[in-house]
């Protein structure tokens, strides 16, 4: 009995101390400056012309102007004791801890609406202890300065409804109506999104969204907001979505905004809390006209409804990303393939191999024999690459022809001749920092690289050897215009300008009709659409189609394929090429090659050569290609195959 009294006294003292501490913290918070929550979590996005194109909090609405269906659904599912606590639901926290211990996970949450609002006041969602303490402190300050209606209003105006912030914006985006006019069915489907926006968006995962809706309606019945009959009726009601398209919005625009937010999260100079900024003005490089061109050319050419798409349009002179898409339709899939997906890049890696070759003494006329070949290595390993459609010259071909036809045997021979470290070294110089494997297949693009990194690499070629890192955000300010961040990146010279010019001219052979012979140039089919000069390289694997092309005014990189690695078809490749050329031609309409193509360096000279042999042309079939002065071709026979001792021709009769 005496031990019990001692325990009771100790427990009472501890409880009293905790209560006094708790009261003291709230009292201190009461006399701290009042946090501004109206307009908090406000992302104001501006395009390249400094015109506002979307605003996360422009449609802030009073609680009285929000449907009671939505309010009740939110409270019922997110925080049923909202009106009975002071920011923390301690019984719910204890219950969640017990459940998590039993289940050996942390899936059960206990955040109140006030706590979630405090999270919304931050730019990121780190789960560090210091961050949790800051959130708790903001929760206390909110509860000490605002009544429950004001807190609920702030929450509903800042919460994430699948990339759309605030209930008014969400109501318009999903149903083309105001939040006040949401019926029970619509309100219950929207109230389910914030718990997991990517999983419960009805546009991207309707089945899961309906399961979530059913759970919310059941909780509303349990908490006496609606009857069982009303719940069943709402669940069975057909939902007619606006699909986020009001005739002005672009289905791919949200991918650009997603990329902006991804870059924003990496900028360390921006305060982590909206309480320090009152919202952000984000000035981007988005060119709305270019974004429209991207979408229109996609809709026109990518006719396979099931295939996915990624595309980036960039100014190569400064790295500004003017337009982007990470998929066909953001409403159907929010995964941003342009910045998140890594795919095999196929033959689009070859220009960097051939830059290395030119840097190491190759010219447009350097020849290797194009024939089916097995490469032998130590340990008895062999490698037998194949050309597309199994077409080979059966004799020597020039580097120019190898680029025009995308000859795989020539590429592997070049890779082995230079040494397997040469290509990775060049790729690192132009911004691709993968941990490359020393395999002969690297020359054929077996490495998986994301599209944005490839754009940085190709941007170096398009900018005459100066590397420019692609970026989306030019400047960020607070709501008062104070600059928090400004992009001051400058191009870095990493490649030789003369060599890059020669390579860029070589990449015009991919559509040059002079190379029509035993094979045809890989991009010849789109030549009739071209009114400008371009450097172009396409690439195809079993599962991926890519194309990168540019002049000094614009760089466009595109990919199509399937998320589940289903095989692509030749028509998919053709469609992608047509999309690329339509984008370039539309953007450059009215401009001349003098404005868009490169000036020949003083140390470079043009020579008319025979396309296949690489020798000086002796007939009308010739193509002007370029050489460093003093390296012009002669008619002497110089084939480099003999320098690679581990090569043997495949015997067609005995090969499988």
Alpha-carbon separation of residue 177 from 52, 77, 185, 246, 299 (angstroms): 22, 23, 14, 11, 28
Percent of the chain surpassing pLDDT 70: 82
Average pLDDT over residues 567-592: 96
Q: Is the residue at 193 inside a domain?
A: yes
Q: Are 388 and 518 in contact, with CB atoms under 8 Å apart?
A: no
Catalytic residue among 78, 153, 168, 308: 78
Same domain, 399 and 485: yes
Indicate if 216 and 352 belong to the same structural domain: no
Whether 592 is in a domain gets the answer: yes
Answer whether residue 162 shows pLDDT above 90.
no
CATH number at residue 146: 1.10.3810.10
**233 and 308 housed in the same domain:** no
442, 344 Cβ separation under 8 angstroms: no
Please report whether residue 272 resides in a domain: no
> Is 404 a known active-site residue?
no
Query: Are residues 481 and 597 located together in one domain of the fold?
Result: yes
Q: What is the pLDDT of residues 203-222, one digit of tens each?
A: 888 999 999 999 999 999 99
> pLDDT digit string (tens) for 268-280?
888 766 555 567 8
The verdict on whether 453 is a catalytic residue reads no
Task: Read off the pLDDT of residues 108-131 as tens digits, 9 standing for 90 and up.
Answer: 455 788 878 777 765 554 555 666
The pLDDT value given to residue 12: 63
What is d(CA 40, CA 54) in angstroms, rounded to the nearest whole number? 15
**Is 452 domain-assigned?**
yes
Report pLDDT digits (tens) over 289-326: 999 999 999 999 999 989 999 999 999 999 999 999 99
Ranges 57-61, 363-367, 591-595, most confident:
363-367
Domain extent at residue 308: 292-649
Q: Work out the average pLDDT over 491-518.
A: 97
Domain boundary among the residues 249, 284, 314 is at 249
Three-class SS of 388-427 = HHHCCCCEEEEHHHHHHHCCHHHHHHHHHHHCCCHHHHHH
- In this structure, the answer to whether residues 230 and 336 fall within a common structural domain is no
Farthest CA pair distance, the chain:
115
Q: Which helix (H) or strand (E) holds 185?
A: helix 184-191
Lowest-confidence segment of 85-94, 315-324, 331-340, 625-634 by average pLDDT: 85-94
My answer on whether 305 and 241 are in the same domain is no
265 falls within a domain: no
pLDDT tens profile 238-255: 999 876 544 445 678 989
**Do residues 47 and 286 lie in contact, with contact meaning Cβ atoms separated by under 8 Å?**
yes
Burial 446-457 (b: 16+ CB within 10 A, else e): ebebbbbbbbbb
Same domain, 58 and 144: yes
**pLDDT value of position 150:** 86
* CATH number assigned to the domain comprising residue 563: 3.40.710.10
Taking all residues of the chain, what is their mean pLDDT, rounded to a whole number?
A: 86
**Tally of domains within the chain:** 2
Residue 39 pLDDT exceeds 70: no
Q: Which of 196, 218, 249 marks a domain boundary?
A: 249
Residue 256 belongs to some domain of the structure: no
User: Based on the domain organization, do 185 and 104 belong to the same domain?
Assistant: yes
- Choice among 76, 347, 365, 453 that is catalytic: 347
- The verdict on residue 17 lying in a domain is no
**Residue 101: band (very low, low, confident or very high) from pLDDT cuts 50, 70, 90:** low
Q: Are residues 185 and 113 in the same domain?
A: yes
Is the domain of 384 the same as that of 533? Answer: yes
Q: What is the mean pLDDT of residues 62-88?
A: 87
The pLDDT of residue 228 is: 95
Indicate if 55 and 183 belong to the same structural domain: yes
Q: Are residues 429 and 540 in the same domain?
A: yes
Instruction: Give the domain-ending residue among 249, 281, 309.
Output: 249
- pLDDT given at position 333: 85
Tokens of 426: 């060049």
Determine, yes or no, domain membership for 99: yes
């Amino acid at each position: 009995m005496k031990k019990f009294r001692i325990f009771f006294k100790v427990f009472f003292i501890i409880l009293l101390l905790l209560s006094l501490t708790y009261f003291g913290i709230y009292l201190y918070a009461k006399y701290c400056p009042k946090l501004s929550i109206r307009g908090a979590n406000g992302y104001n996005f501006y395009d390249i012309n400094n015109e506002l194109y979307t605003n996360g909090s422009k449609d802030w609405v009073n609680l009285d102007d929000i449907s009671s269906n939505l309010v009740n659904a939110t409270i019922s599912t997110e925080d049923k004791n909202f009106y009975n606590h002071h920011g923390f639901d301690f019984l719910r926290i204890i219950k969640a801890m017990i459940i998590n211990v039993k289940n050996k996970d942390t899936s059960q949450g206990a955040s109140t609406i006030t706590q979630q609002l405090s999270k919304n006041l931050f730019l990121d969602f780190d789960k560090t202890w210091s961050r949790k303490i800051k959130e708790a402190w903001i929760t206390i300050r909110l509860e000490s300065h605002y009544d429950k209606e004001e807190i609920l209003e702030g929450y509903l105006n800042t919460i994430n409804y699948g990339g759309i912030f605030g209930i008014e914006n969400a109501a318009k985006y999903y149903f083309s109506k105001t939040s006040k006019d949401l019926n029970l069915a619509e309100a219950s489907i929207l109230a389910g999104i914030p718990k997991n926006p990517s999983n419960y968006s009805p546009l991207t995962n309707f089945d899961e969204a309906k399961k979530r809706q059913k759970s919310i309606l059941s909780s509303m019945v349990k908490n006496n907001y609606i009857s069982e009959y009303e719940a069943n009726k709402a669940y069975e009601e057909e939902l007619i979505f606006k699909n986020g398209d009001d005739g002005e919005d672009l289905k791919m625009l949200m991918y650009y905004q997603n990329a902006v937010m991804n870059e924003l999260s990496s900028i360390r100079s921006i305060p982590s809390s909206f309480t320090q900024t009152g919202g952000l003005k984000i000035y981007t490089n988005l060119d709305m006209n270019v974004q429209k061109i991207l979408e229109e050319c996609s809709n026109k050419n990518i006719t396979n409804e099931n295939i996915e798409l990624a595309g980036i349009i960039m100014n190569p002179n400064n790295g500004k990303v003017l337009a982007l898409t990470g998929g066909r339709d953001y409403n159907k899939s929010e995964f941003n393939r342009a910045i998140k997906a890594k795919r095999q890049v196929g033959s689009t890696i070859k220009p960097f191999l051939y830059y290395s070759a030119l840097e190491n003494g190759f010219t447009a006329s350097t020849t290797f024999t194009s024939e089916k070949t097995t490469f032998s290595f130590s340990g008895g390993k062999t490698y037998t690459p194949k050309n597309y459609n199994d077409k080979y010259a059966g004799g020597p071909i020039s580097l120019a022809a190898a680029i025009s036809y995308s000859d795989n045997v020539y590429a592997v021979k070049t890779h082995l001749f230079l040494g397997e470290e040469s290509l990775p070294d060049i790729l690192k110089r132009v911004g691709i920092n993968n941990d490359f494997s020393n395999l002969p297949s690297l020359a054929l693009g077996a490495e998986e690289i994301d599209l944005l990194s490839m754009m940085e690499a190709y941007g170096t070629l398009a900018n005459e050897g100066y590397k420019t890192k692609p970026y989306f955000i030019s400047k960020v300010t607070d709501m008062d215009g104070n600059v928090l961040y400004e992009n001051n990146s400058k191009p870095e010279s990493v490649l030789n300008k003369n060599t890059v010019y020669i390579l860029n001219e070589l990449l015009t052979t991919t559509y040059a009709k002079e190379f029509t012979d035993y094979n045809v140039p890989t991009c010849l089919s789109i030549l009739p659409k071209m009114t400008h000069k371009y450097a172009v390289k396409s690439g195809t694997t079993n599962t991926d189609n890519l194309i990168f092309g540019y002049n000094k005014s614009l760089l466009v990189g595109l990919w199509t394929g399937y998320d589940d690695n289903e095989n692509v078809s030749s028509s998919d490749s053709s469609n992608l090429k047509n999309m690329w050329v339509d984008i370039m031609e539309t953007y450059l309409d009215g401009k001349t090659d003098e404005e868009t193509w490169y000036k020949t360096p003083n140390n470079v000279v043009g020579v008319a050569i025979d396309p296949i042999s690489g020798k000086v042309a002796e007939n009308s079939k010739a193509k002007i290609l370029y050489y460093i002065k003093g390296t012009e071709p002669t008619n002497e026979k110089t084939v480099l195959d003999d320098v690679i001792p581990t090569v043997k021709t495949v015997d067609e009769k005995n090969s499988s």
